[in-house]
Amino acid sequence: MNERGRATRDRLLAATRDVVRDVGYSRATTRAIARAADVTEGTIYRHFPDKTTMFFAAALGPHNEMLTQFADLPDLAGTNTLAENLTTALIRLAQLREDILPLELAILTDPELATGRTAARLDAVSLATGGPPERLAEYLRSEQRLGRLRADADPQLVARTLLSLLFALSLEPSAADADGGRPDPALIGSAVDLVVRGLAP
């Protein structure tokens, strides 16, 4: 694949994210995506074997960024406050996630996407689980070792709870509807506070 090909491919992936965000997964047709990427429909199939694969590929980019972002979270243990670190990390995560949330939902909702032949790809992407939960738990364990988190809390459970919370808040058709950006940072802060409160040693 030469440079022109790669550029087209990237445009298709960006178009996929844009269209899905704008009109929802079910109305994100190959026609709409091709149009948004300024190519014809046939071109899609030169770059991806089918529509589903393209969707997963479109999600992969932001997902990798999410992984990268979280990679150094454990290093922050001991610095700032617990609430500060968590809030910052989750807000960043929410922003990155915004692009691919509709796709995550589609996968979660659609039994066929969540199983069968797509299972492998799903695993590779590990959207809901995978990286972030692990890094977050690791960070919490470090804080626990430092005595900044009560000893009887289960880091894994806490991590999972925080991420679930973030996920749900991102979905809410809440106040922040206006500016298009879904999750309201202030709301995230409040929610994190609530949880962190019970984590003090």
Partner DNA sequence: GATGAATGAGAATTCATTCAT
Partner DNA sequence: AATGAATGAATTCTCATTCAT
Q: Is 31 in the site for DNA (CB under 7 A)?
A: yes
Question: Reduced to 3 DSSP states, what percent helix, strand and coil does the chain have, rounded to the nearest 5?
Answer: 75, 0, 25
Task: Check binding of 111 to DNA (CB under 7 A).
Answer: no
Interaction of residue 42 with a copy of itself, rule CB under 8 A: no
196 binds DNA (CB under 7 A): no
- Burial environment of residue 81 by CB neighbours within 10 A (0 to 12, 13 to 18, 19 or more): exposed
CB contact set of 168 (below 8 Å; sequence gap of 6+): none
Distance CA 130, CA 34 (A): 31
Q: Does 39 bind DNA (CB under 7 A)?
A: yes
**Span 52-91, contacts to DNA by CB under 7 A:** 52
- Verify binding: residue 22, DNA, rule CB under 7 A: no
Q: Residue 167's binding partner, choosing from a copy of itself, DNA, none, with beta-carbon cut-off 5 to 8 A by kind?
A: a copy of itself
The one of a copy of itself, DNA, none whose footprint includes residue 75, by CB under 5 to 8 A per kind, is none
Q: Two tokens at 104? A: 């995550």
Determine the residue type at 58.
A
Tell me how far apart the alpha carbons of residues 184 and 77 are, in angstroms, rounded to a whole number.
Answer: 25
Residue 175 in tokens: 């106040």
Residue type, 74: P
**CB under 5 to 8 A by kind: which of DNA, a copy of itself, none does 161 bind?**
a copy of itself
Fill in the per-residue mask, 161 to 180: x = in contact with a copy of itself (CB under 8 A), - = not in contact.
x-xxx-xxx-xxx-------
Name the CA radius of gyration of the chain, rounded: 19
Site residues (CB under 8 A) for a copy of itself, limited to 97-126: 102, 105-106, 108-112, 114
Binding site for a copy of itself (CB under 8 A): 22-27, 102, 105-106, 108-112, 114, 128, 153-154, 157-158, 161, 163-165, 167-169, 171-173, 190-191, 194-200
